[in-house]
Structure 1
Amino acid sequence: MVDKPSLSQSSGYVGHNTAVASALDASRLDVISPYDGTIVTCVHEASVKEVQEAVARACAAQPAMAELPGFERARRLRAAAESLRRDSAELAALLSRETGKAIRESRVEMARAADVISLSAEEATRIAGRQIPLDASPVGAGKLAVSQRFPIGTVGMVVPFNAPVNLSCHKLSPALAAGNTCVLKAPPEAAGTVDRLVGHFLQAGFPDGAINLLQGRAQTGQALFADERLGFLSFTGSLRAGKAVKEAAGMRPCTLELGGLGPTVVHSDANLELAASACATSGFRLAGQSCASVQNIFVHTDVATAFKKMLVARVEALKVGDPLDPQTDLGPVINLAAAQRIVERIEAAVRAGARCLTGGHRDGTMVEPTVLVKASLDSQVVCEEIFGPVVIVHEYCNIQQTFDWVNATGYGINFGLFTESVSIALQAHRSVIAGAIIVNGTSTFRPDQIPYGGDRLSGYGRESPADSVRAMTRERLIVFQ
């Protein structure tokens, strides 16, 4: 077993000053373990004035940050990555305690996050412009045009609870690599974890005020993104909140990573053992609380019976329990309201004719891994992101009709496809509107260096260290006549 971290107090915002919540502070925000109901961390929730002060600090630090050479930004990022690696065991335990994430998954998240910082450090030394071939037209003959990329300014960021360390690093690290300053709002469910993470960046030696952390709930994020001094907005979260962020952005550039329905197809020629194992893992990792989590599995009718038998056996072998136990596969969902919502969706689907092959119940915040079949394609459990440990298996005969259904939902992050046919894979690539088509893998596949993101209802833009650095810089041309 992993030792449980003790109750800690965290700063409300980080810059030149910190504000710590006291027991009698009306702005105190408690982080409560979804597993045992204990208070893990208490933080000071930022007021609107403190949000504005954090943005002002970041804007004031922007000139110093922009003047920092690329190799110096890279050096500081590498220092932050190494510091995080040294702290990974304790930080992973805190993350599991705050959010209920299985400790094995928390440890993986720490390693990935450190790698994201290191990858961003490399990008800090690769920011380059381009030469435009003006002699391609008569008007440009004898002239020279070159461009350079400059920092976009102060970047506002909001991350969710399900992968707060890795997602924070996906926003902070490229922004700093590009020479920007940052204001990050932590998720209230993982406030202490993100506070501790930001400390590693602060200790790396970036200019004072370059990195600012806000603690709070939705209204804190709304106040942050409403501030017109921000040059770029980066948001990961729900579709509803994402629409509000897009409206707040106005003419400002932004990236939005929103929800999905986790579509994965198992074709008649698929390796069923591989597909069943991958779906059992990817549908229930993070207790299904991921925008890319496998939710809808479409299986060719010729292999459906065999696949469902394999899938159910693997799902029933998953261990649900204490998130700090290394043997646990999935812990609780984030809170009681989420658990109630998930089970209500399951029960509504069953009343409408769906059948539950396994699971379907809860004990407090612990929701059983659930496999449904015979759910209507227009039912809520199918067409809306459930964000819980539930997968729905559908049967199909015509694969193009399955592709068409996926497109009709409006969502499109990753699309998983198990097949041995290159032609089927290419058909999916041509047909399915999604950020990526993952052949012989599921919708959760995300190495941190690939351009990750969705289209339409699933978001806007792509995130990776390289893609984010480019998005968070402005191209400026100079022409010599």
Structure 2
Amino acid sequence: MTIQSSYPYYLANRAVDANRDLEVIDKHTGEVATRVALADDAVVDRAIAAAVEATPAMARLPAHRRRDVLNGCADRFVERFDELAEILLVEGGKVIKDARGEVQRLIDTFRIAAEEATRIGGEVLPMDIAERSEGVLGFWKRVPIGPVSFITPFNFPYNLVAHKIAPAIAAGCPFILKPAEKTPIGALVLGEILAEFDLPEGAFSILPVPREDAARFTEDERLKLMSFTGSDKVGWMLKGKAGKKPVVMELGGNAACLVDADADLDDAVERLVFGGFYQAGQSCISVQRVLVHDAIYDALTERLVEQVGALRGGDPRDPETFVGPLISEDDAKRVVQWIEEAEAAGARRLVGGERDGAVVRPALLDRVPDDCKLFSEEVFGPAMILERFDDFDAALDRINRSRYGLQAGLFIRDIGKIRRAWDRLEVGGVIINDVPSFRVDHMPYGGVKDSGLGREGIKFAIEDMTEIRLLAIREA
């Protein structure tokens, strides 16, 4: 067991063991695993003031030093790999395979950011497009936007934090971070590692904060950008309070996947099982809706029922476990309630849906009415619904019949249909011959409609955290 008995928060680069007020629960056993220091509004105020003070020094930090800090952190993650994975087992309830995968993505994300730190450039801008601007030299470059704030959710305690703090360091922006109260340990260990490196005082603060003391992360005018990942309800509420600062939001969805008549059934079933039920479905790009061509519907459904029914749930430490506990028993009860609501409205449960504490057996349903939560909302749990289609263009319209638009997946071979899907689907990403759960950490990732604003992915996050500054020189 590598979990410490308590963890400090980080204020202006320094560990502060202020209290032990926040209990962190082992999501499998339900027991208290550790205690974490909670910050209050006064501490957040000090963190923002320190970030403002650090802004000039962070902006002047040479690219090679920012690169070396990021690579140095990645090296330390490698050294502490098993410890970091164990933390995810405890605070997140992740099965060991998912935990190890997330630690590897943490390493990858910091490596990518280290590379991008040396690529933040600009252009020579031709100015002689008119007679009046002859003899003028034009240039532009990107400069750090200033102090930024981040709010992250429970489901990826490393990776979603990394996608905010790594580009901030690469861009030269001081930051304050509020990790999820249910999974704060991972972010605090990242702070512990970051504190080993020579960054300007005030470059970072990592502060578990109760909701009632978190308003400054959104509303304080000294902060020049807020990046939030979480529910759409909370995200849009925060955006309305953010004032003049830009806001980047990744707000989840109820991702759809289409399987056309010419798809490789074995491959599609294998990927659907992964995409629907890895992390117990607690991913904003988890497969929730599957549209299957009528010609292969029965065959695909039969294979899915067999494979989903064979998935093992329970102890995340057991290498054979595929589905671990949800983040809380209340969340597990909600998922079961949504399944039962759909059944009462006429849906057919094909397999799964039983609950044992916080673990829900992976569920597969069809004939789910459109007005059921299981169709229209984000289930954020191990439940997937199937429906038939026989008209491809109508199926695209069906996928778009959602207030969300994060990513969609299509198992399909026809290049003409692929192009139509790319043109017509109202989503941030179209994934061909794989599930919408596919993500590589350098790609532009984000959604439209109620799925958010802006894009993550290191290069694109750096663009959000920098501003363009023009230089025009008139020859005297």
Q: Which residue of 1 aligns with 2:387?
A: 394
For 2:11, the equivalent position in structure 1 comes to 14
C-alpha deviation, 1:176, in angstroms: 0.7
SS of the residue aligned with 1:130? strand
Q: TM-score, normalised by structure 1?
A: 0.96
The alpha-carbon deviation at position 462 of structure 1 amounts to 0.7
Instruction: State the match for 1:256 in structure 2.
Output: 249
Instruction: String of CA shifts for 1:67-93, please: whole Å, max 9, x gaps.
Output: 111111111111011011111111110
Q: Deviations over 1:334-391 (max 9, x none)?
A: 0011011110000000011001111111011011100011101232110000000000
Q: 1:337 to 1:222 in 2, by over 3 A?
A: farther
| Amino acid across the alignment from 1:471 | D
Residue from 408, 411, 423 that aligns with 2:416: 423
Map 1:215-226 onto structure 2 (within 5 A): 215-226=208-219
Pairing partner for 2:348 from 355, 358, 368: 355
Question: Which residue of structure 2 aligns with residue 281 of structure 1?
Answer: 274
Partner AA of 2:26 in structure 1: S
Give the CA deviation at 1:7: 4.7
Pick closer, same or farther for the CA change 1:221–1:101 going to 2, 3 Å: farther
Q: What is aligned with 1:479?
A: 472
Rounded Cα–Cα distance in structure 2 between residues aligned with 1:330 and 1:265: 24
1:294 to 287, 300, 306: 287
Q: Which residue of 2 aligns with 1:440?
A: 433
Separation of aligned partners in 2, 1:338 and 1:86: 34
In the other structure, the counterpart of 2:234 is 241
Q: How many angstroms apart in 2 are the aligned matches of 1:477 and 1:292?
A: 38
Asked if structure 1 preserves the Cα contact closer than 8 Å seen for 2:149 and 2:225, the reply is yes
Q: Which moved more, 1:320-329 or 1:448-457?
A: 320-329
Q: Is the 8 A contact 2:408 2:430 kept in 1?
A: yes
Q: Which amino acid aligns with 2:416?
A: S
TM-score (norm 2): 0.97
Counterpart contact for 1:319–1:328, Cα < 8 Å: yes
Where does residue 258 of structure 2 map in the other structure?
Answer: 265
Cα distance per residue 1:150-177 (max 9 Å; x no partner): 1110110011111110111110010111
Q: Is 1:381 equivalent to 2:374 in the alignment?
A: yes
1:199 positional shift = 1.4
Q: Once the two structures are superposed, what CA deviation does each residue of 1:187-214 show, in whole Å capped at 9, x if it has no partner?
A: 1111112111221122122122101101
Partner of residue 299 from structure 2, selected from 306, 316, 320: 306
Letter paired with 2:413: E
- Matched with 2:105 is 112
Give 1:129 deviation, angstroms: 1.2
- Does the residue aligned with 1:265 lie in a helix, a strand or coil? strand
The answer to whether 1:83 aligns with 2:80 is: no
> In the comparison of the two structures, how many residue pairs are matched?
474
Q: Which residue of 2 aligns with 1:403?
A: 396
1:228 pairs, out of 201, 221, 224, with 221
Structure-1 separation of matches of 2:337 and 2:102: 30
How far did residue 219 of structure 1 move? 3.2
Give distance in 1, aligned partners of 2:233 and 2:172: 31
Secondary structure of the equivalent of 1:41?
strand
Write the distance in 1 (CA, Å) between the matches of 2:38 and 2:50: 18
Deviation string, structure 1 residues 312-335 (Cα, Å, up to 9, x no partner): 111122111111222211100000
Instruction: Give the partner amino acid of 2:244.
Output: M
- Residue 365 (str. 1) matches residue 369 (str. 2): no
Structure 1 unmatched ranges of 5 or more: none
The answer to whether residue 461 in structure 2 is matched with residue 468 in structure 1 is: yes
Q: CA deviation at 1:217?
A: 3.6
Whether 1:166 aligns to 2:159 is: yes
What is the alpha-carbon distance in structure 1 between the residues aligned to residue 196 and residue 19 of structure 2? Answer: 25
> 1:97–1:324: 8 Å Cα contact kept in structure 2?
no
Q: How does 1:8-47 map to 2 (within 5 A)?
A: 8-15=5-12, 17-20=14-17, 22=19, 28-47=21-40
Structure-2 change in CA distance of 1:429 and 1:156 (3 Å): same
Q: How far apart in 2 are the matches of 1:305 and 1:206?
A: 59
Conserved? CA contact 1:151–1:178, under 8 Å: yes
Q: Which of 203, 213, 225 does residue 196 from structure 2 map onto? A: 203
1:171 and 1:467 map into 2 onto residues whose CA distance is: 11
Contact 1:154 1:181 in 2 (8 A): yes
Percent identity, aligned pairs only, is: 37
Q: State the AA in 2 paired with 1:13.
A: Y
Q: d(CA) in 2 for partners of 1:71 and 1:17?
A: 23
Aligned-pair distance for 1:276? 0.8
2:14, 2:195 within 8 Å by CA — same for their partners in 1?
no
CA-to-aligned-CA distance 1:1-41 (integer Å, 9 cap, x gap)? xxx33452111333254433656xxxx11111121111112
8 A contact 1:32–1:98 mirrored in 2: yes
CA positional deviation for 1:221: 3.6
CA contact (8 A) 2:312 2:321 kept: yes
* CA-CA distance at 1:456 after TM superposition: 1.4
Letter in 2 for 1:12: Y
Range that drifts further, 162-171 or 405-414: 405-414
In structure 2, how many angstroms separate the alpha carbons of the residues matched to 1:383 and 1:219?
A: 30
Aligned position for 1:454: 447
- Residue identity matched to 1:208: E
Q: Given the alignment, which residue of 111, 127, 136 partners 1:134?
A: 127
- Residues 276 and 384, structure 2, Cα contact 8 Å, conserved in 1: yes
The aligned residue for residue 328 of structure 1 is 321
Whether the 8 Å contact between 1:12 and 1:18 is mirrored in structure 2 is: yes
Aligned partners of 1:158 and 1:221 also within 8 Å: no
Q: Let me know the Cα RMSD of the aligned residues.
A: 1.3
SS at match of 1:293: coil
Contact between 1:453 and 1:459, CA under 8 Å: does it hold in 2?
yes
Amino acid at match of 1:15: A
CA offsets per residue over residues 104-143 of structure 1, 9 Å max, x none? 1111111111111111011111111112221122332221
**Is contact 1:5-1:97 (8 Å) kept?**
no
Contact residue 407 and residue 428 of structure 2 kept, 8 A: yes
Structure 2 residue 103 is the aligned partner of structure 1 residue 101: no
Structure 1 runs of 4+ aligned residues shifted over 4 Å read none
Q: Which residue of 1 aligns with 2:178?
A: 185
